[in-house]
Amino acid sequence: MSQNIVDREQYRPHIHYTPAANWMNDPNGLVYFGGLYHLYYQYNPYSSSHANMHWGRATSTDLVHWQEREVALPEHKHQVFSGSAVVDWHNTSGFGQGRQPPLVACYTGHTADNQAQFLAYSLDQGVTWTYHDEPVLDLGKQDFRDPKIFWHAASAQWIMVVVHPVERQVELYGSGNLREWTSLSIFGPVGFTGGIWEVPDLFPLEDETGRTHWVMKVDLNPGGPYGGSGVQYWLGNFDGQNFTATTSARWLDHGNDFYAALTWNDLTGRRVWIAWMSNWRYAHDVPTLGWRGAMTLPREVCVCADPDLPTLAQRPVPELQALRQHWTDLQGGGRFSLTEHQAHEVLLQWPALPDGRVILEFHSASGCELSVEVVLEEVVVRRPATVSTTLLEGYSGEHRGKLPSHLTQHDLHIFLDASSVEVFAAAGRIVISDLLFPSEAIREMTVHVSGLEPASFQGELWSLNSSTP
Catalytic annotation, residues: 26
Q: How far is CA 131 from CA 87, 118, 136, 416, in A?
A: 16, 8, 12, 40
Question: Cα torsion at 442, 320, 43, 204 (round to 10°)?
Answer: -130
Across 99-229, where does the E strand assignment appear? 103-111, 114-122, 130-141, 145-152, 157-164, 169-175, 182-187, 196-206, 212-221
* Residue 110 CB contacts under 8 Å (≥ 6 apart), including other chains: 53, 78, 79, 80, 81, 145
69, 76 Cβ separation under 8 angstroms: no
* Residue 112 CB contacts under 8 Å (≥ 6 apart), including other chains: none
Q: What DSSP letter does each residue of 112-145 carry, written as one string?
A: TTEEEEEEEEESSTTSS-EEEEEEEEEEEESS-E
- CA separation for the pair 446, 362 (Å, rounded): 7
- CA separation for the pair 271, 302 (Å, rounded): 7
Q: What is the DSSP letter of 73?
A: B
Length of the chain counted residue by residue:
469
Q: What residues pair up with 412 in beta bridges, in sequence order?
A: 348, 425
